[in-house]
Structure 1
Amino acid sequence: MAQPVEKLLLFGATGDLSRRMLIPSLFGLHSDGLLPDQLTITGTARSEYDDAGFRDFAAEALEEFAPADRMTEDNVAAFLERLHYHALDASSQHGYDALAEGLGDISGGLAIFLSTAPWLFGPTIKGLQGAGLATDKVRIGLEKPLGKDLQTSCEINDIVADAFPEERTFRIDHYLGKETVQNILALRFGNSLFEPVWNARGIDNVQITISETVGLEGRAGYYDEVGALRDMVQNHMLQLVSLIAMEPPAHFDGTSIRDEKVKVLRSLRTIAAEDVGHHTVLGQYGAGAVAGKIVRGYDEELEQVSDTETFVALKAHVDNWRWQGVPFYLRTGKRMAERRSEIVIQFKPVPHSIFAERGGMLQPNALVIRLQPEEYVRLLVMAKQPGLDREGIRLREVPLNLSLDTEFAGTQRRIAYERLLLDLIEGDPTLFVRRDEVEAQWAWIDAVREGWKANGVKPKPYSSGSWGPSAAIALTERDGVTWHE
């Protein structure tokens, strides 16, 4: 069992991720007494701060993003005392010895959170090695993106593996830290109700939607290079597929769970070049209205013409015994009708309806797992409407709700990075992504992109505030399936 470290080093400590997520998350853990008492947190970036300047930066971040009920003067002051800062140009090898000197003794363990541009991974790892900050007392957490295709991902992983073995490498996908995502495992493997029908005999299709209402939001340079497929499907959505489709692991630990996930990812049917036109749809948002506000199209926001997709829908298959013939429909996009992340398990209809002759219309059951903005699990079942039934039996679909906000109202709700940072500090790899998972994901994504390139596929336009191109509707309706909206 790994031991908690005594020091945490944050690269990119003055960036937007740190301001919005990392510093508030660490403050939340500190407030609840979950951080080791002796833990110090050192931030590093190019910004010319000293300790006092970084503490002022952190205090402003807490004022904006931390819960107000935790913002007592003593609590904030005690947290800020943990913080230190060391300015560093990560691309230069000259500053790492001074960084190591500033950190001091790391015999009690050091966790590094690396949130930098991908091209800085190589120089950073080399600098850490040269300064003695890659010993067996050090573990490293890596924020995405980890490459832009299989080749570059392997190159980055090779660089990291040269300094940090797999057991000390923690690749972060923040979706895995979401409470509702973890509830997928509890739902499946903690209840006898679902697992007997969680297969091709009981399930007709699976739909996963991650829709955003925002546009580029300052990410134009990065986003235009990667697009929706690589930004969302390669990591978050395929991780959700693996959790939904995995076999029951023998134990709840990092090895057992990730072993089963990678089996799913390796079982994904490659979408051949001749099938991309039938199994994929890509789009790019134009001008429109979102939440009653007129917004510009992608090219206008970017201020140049681009073929980058801001929407993608795919029909995927997991080729194994459990899931043979069950389509997985994946959909993600920007500037869509609403912000939503959800998984819909559509069960097969009953084999024979005893109500048809009395006018009763049945709908197949569905399980809706909403990840955001609300968090709930909802089972849609058929029930009889009250009445004397003189004109026939009236049936209606009604929800059985498990609202996490309601059922666990007295429990402190946590953002994903709180759990992931604590697991990094304590050395628990369960919710992090293993190298073979990442590379299996990239292999599948690369085949899709090669198919697009071979066929000259370009994104179809869709209006901002819609659910994407009309071709995405046809993708499912060819199979007699309708997107859950």
Structure 2
Amino acid sequence: MDQRALFIIFGGTGDLAYRKLYPSLFRLYEKGYLKENFAVIGTARRPWSDDHFHEVVLNAIADDGRDVERTNTELARKFASHFYYQSHNVDDAEHYVNLKNLADKLDAKYELNGNRVYYLAMAPRFFGTISSHLKDQNLLTENGFNRLIIEKPFGRDYKTAKELNDSVSGSFAEDQIFRIDHYLGKEPIQSIAALRFGNQIISSLWNKEHIDNIQVTLAESLGVEERAGYYETAGALRDMVQNHIMQIVSLLTMEKPDVYDASHLRDKKVEALNNIQLYSVDEAKKNFVRGQYGEDANQTQASYRDEEGTDEHSQIDTFVAGKLISHNPTLEGVPVYVRTGKRLAKKTTQINVVFKNVDTDIFHNVEDNDAIGLQDNVLTIYIEPEMGYTLKLNTKYGNQGYNINPVHLRYRKTPEEKAKIPDAYERLIHDALRGDKTNFAHWHEVSRAWKLVDVIREAWDSEDANFPNYESGSMGPKDADELLTNDGRNWVFNPLK
């Protein structure tokens, strides 16, 4: 079913629009979700013409890993013809009058029925200003839907996030606000609910009686690259833990919803986050560690403090590891270990669910030099770059004797399967068009995540760290390993073993 709507993209000349939004809209057009009844207004300060804007859109499509020849096809040029540019100062109320005139004109031309999507691809400090002007200058229609899509970072702490939310909610109701966390658009993340609640063999074991711990790893092999300026104001805790990791943790620890829809899922995720133990400052110091990368062993990669745009005495974290405790009834007391970092040994996003070992090892008296012995059963969920699952089981292995060794049952999506999966932004824009908020963050989720993270930030801000404290190409500082070894556990994912 095709969707009728006018997209107004604030920040239309920016990197996000070029790399993600324009290619995603084109994919929706190719697949027929957008047909002829749509239009896009790009706004920014630059004095572009419509023709120049069309060329930018075509280049964005080409740079999205497609054959350059494709930008010359009739389909691509027909798509680009739906784009219009309006030079715009978001602080100037008069400019919204011009924007409204163009929007109304396009609404009539393309028969859009007053449906509008406002995408704020700009710094959060502009969210309140744009939202209030959209309302005050009567850009919000009465005969169609009005939906606001906003990007992270949504504040720097709970206080600023609430101020930001209040500034937006003065013009838009909560059900009109779509907060994008692109991790929620990833196929394997959306599959967590299907895995947990769609398989009796898994759901019957997903509880405190059978799960020993859960581990979430978001590891990056690159450094901060061109994002050093942003990272100096954010760090890994704000950039990764408050949003992506907390969203994943909520999906892993939530109770089963009665129905899988936006409302029921939201309530269970909020409940799950509310039931994550809120640490005191002293508890945060004990249960969370931070790191900042230094040079690699061969001194071929620069330390974070030597990256262009960073402070030579920077206290910003490029690595975070910690232990969260769930108090949801099903997983009461089960620890969830999380970690994320730059310049680590291998790029991966994965979840490891470690099950409790058998109560009695009846094989302990079997003597065989080749036997490894009983290992923990582990379910691994691969998010990226691989997509799929591995289940580690114990079995008799070999010929003579009675060797107990682990085997791995593996499933990976093939390149052909992965090619058919929608990009995260493509999926989320389509959901917003349909008014489906299942894979967007609600304010109650955002606010609770900030409260959990603020305590950690307060603990760290009370004392200077001894940075750098891990080599580039390692898996982070030794304190991250000790978080688990002190509990008699180890990280499942360790590419350096």
Q: Give the Cα–Cα distance (whole angstroms) in 1 for the partners of residues 468 and 379 of structure 2.
A: 31
Partner residue, 2:378: 366
User: How far is the alpha carbon of 1:61 from its aligned partner?
Assistant: 1.4
Report the counterpart of residue 312 of structure 1 in structure 2: 320
- For the residue of structure 1 that corresponds to 2:149, the secondary structure is strand
1:323 corresponds to: 331
**What aligned pairs does 1:182-201 form with structure 2 within 5 A after superposition?**
182-201=190-209
Query: Residues of 1 paired with 2:389 and 2:129: CA distance?
Result: 44
Inter-partner Cα distance in structure 2 for 1:458 and 1:11: 41
The Cα of 1:426 is off from its aligned counterpart by 1.6
**466, 475, 480: which one aligns with 2:488:** 480
Show the counterpart of 1:282. Answer: 290
Partner of 1:132: 138
- Partner residue of 2:306? 300
- What amino acid sits opposite 1:183 in the alignment? S
Structure 2 vs 1, CA of residues 263 and 214 (structure 1 numbering), >3 Å: closer, same or farther?
same
1:468 is aligned, of 476, 481, 485, to 476
Please say which of residues 342-351 and 123-132 is displaced more in the overlay. Answer: 123-132
Give per-residue Cα distances to partners, 1:103-158, cap 9 Å, x unaligned: 12364310111111111112211221122123453111111111111111111111
Cα distance in 2 for residues equivalent to 1:133 and 1:430 = 26
- Secondary structure in 2 matching 1:399: strand
Give the alignment's TM-score, normalised by structure 1.
0.94
Query: Residue type matched to 2:138 in 1?
Result: G
Instruction: Establish whether residue 144 from structure 1 lines up as the match of residue 161 from structure 2.
Output: no
Check 1:264–1:158 CA distance in 2 against 1; reply closer, same or farther (3 A cut). Answer: same
Equivalences for residues 4-403 of structure 1 within 5 A: 4-68=3-67, 71=70, 73-104=73-104, 105=107, 107-136=113-142, 137-288=145-296, 294-301=300-307, 302-304=309-311, 305-359=313-367, 360=371, 361-389=373-401, 393-403=402-412
Question: After alignment, is 28-37 or 461-470 more displaced?
Answer: 28-37
- Which letter does structure 2 place at the counterpart of 1:174? H
**Residues 350/69 of structure 1: CA separation in 2 closer, same or farther (3 Å cut):** farther
1:443-454 equivalent positions in 2, closer than 5 A: 443-454=451-462
CA–CA separation in structure 1 for the residues paired with 2:43 and 2:292: 37
Secondary structure of the structure 1 residue equivalent to 2:93 = coil
Q: Determine the C-alpha separation between the residues in 2 that align with 1:480 and 1:11.
A: 51
* 1:241 to partner: Cα distance: 0.2
Q: For 2:284 and 2:419, how far apart are their aligned partners in 1?
A: 45
1: CA distance between counterparts of 2:28 and 2:174? 26
Q: Aligned partners of 1:212, 1:273: CA distance in 2, in Å?
A: 28
What is the distance in 1 between the residues matched to 2:407 and 2:442? 40
Note the C-alpha offset of 1:455: 5.0
Counterpart code for 1:417: Y
- How far is 1:246 from its partner? 0.7
Deviations 1:9-59 (A, max 9, x none): 112122111111111111111111122430112211222212111111111
For the 8 Å contact 1:342–1:368, the answer to whether it is kept is yes
Decide whether aligned partners of structure 1 residues 434 and 121 sit closer, same or farther in structure 2, where only a CA change above 3 A counts: same
Distance 1:260 1:439 in 2: 15
2:437 is the counterpart of 1:429: yes
Q: CA deviation at 1:216?
A: 2.2
What SS is found at the alignment partner of 2:204?
A: helix
Q: Bigger relative contact order, structure 1 or 2, given CA contacts below 8 A and separation 6+?
A: 1
- Contact between 2:256 and 2:268, CA under 8 Å: does it hold in 1? yes
User: What's the CA shift for 1:71?
Assistant: 2.8
In angstroms, what is the RMSD of aligned CA positions?
A: 2.1
> Does structure 1 retain, via aligned residues, the 8 Å contact 2:132–2:168?
no
Q: Which moved more, 1:215-224 or 1:67-76?
A: 67-76
Mapped partners of 1:442, 1:194: distance in 2: 31
Tell me, in whole angstroms, the C-alpha distance in 1 between the residues paired with 2:482 and 2:69. 49
2:322 aligns to what SS in structure 1?
strand
Offset of 1:3 from its aligned partner? 10
- Deviation, 1:91, is 3.0
Gaps of 5+ in 1: none
Displacement of 1:303 in angstroms is: 4.4
Q: Distance in 1 between matches of 2:75 and 2:299?
A: 40
Q: Which amino acid aligns with 2:228?
A: A
Partners of 1:463 and 1:259 in 2: CA distance: 41
CA deviation after TM superposition for structure 1 residue 75, in Å: 2.2
Evaluate the alpha carbon distance shift between residue 70 and residue 343 of structure 1 in structure 2; reply closer, same or farther with a 3 A threshold.
farther
Once residues 119 and 160 of structure 1 are traced to their aligned partners in structure 2, the CA distance between those partners, rounded to angstroms, is 11
What is the one-letter code of the residue matched to 1:387? N
Distance 1:217 1:9 in 2: 30
Q: Is the 8 A contact 2:93 2:137 kept in 1?
A: no
- Separation in 2, partners of 1:139, 1:303: 37
CA displacement at 1:308 relative to structure 2? 0.8
Q: Is the 8 A contact 1:308 1:459 kept in 2?
A: no
Over the matched positions of the two proteins, sequence identity in percent amounts to: 37
Which amino acid is 1:378 matched to? T
- State whether residues 282 and 460 of structure 1, in contact with CA within 8 Å, keep that contact through their aligned partners in structure 2: no
TM-score (norm 2): 0.92
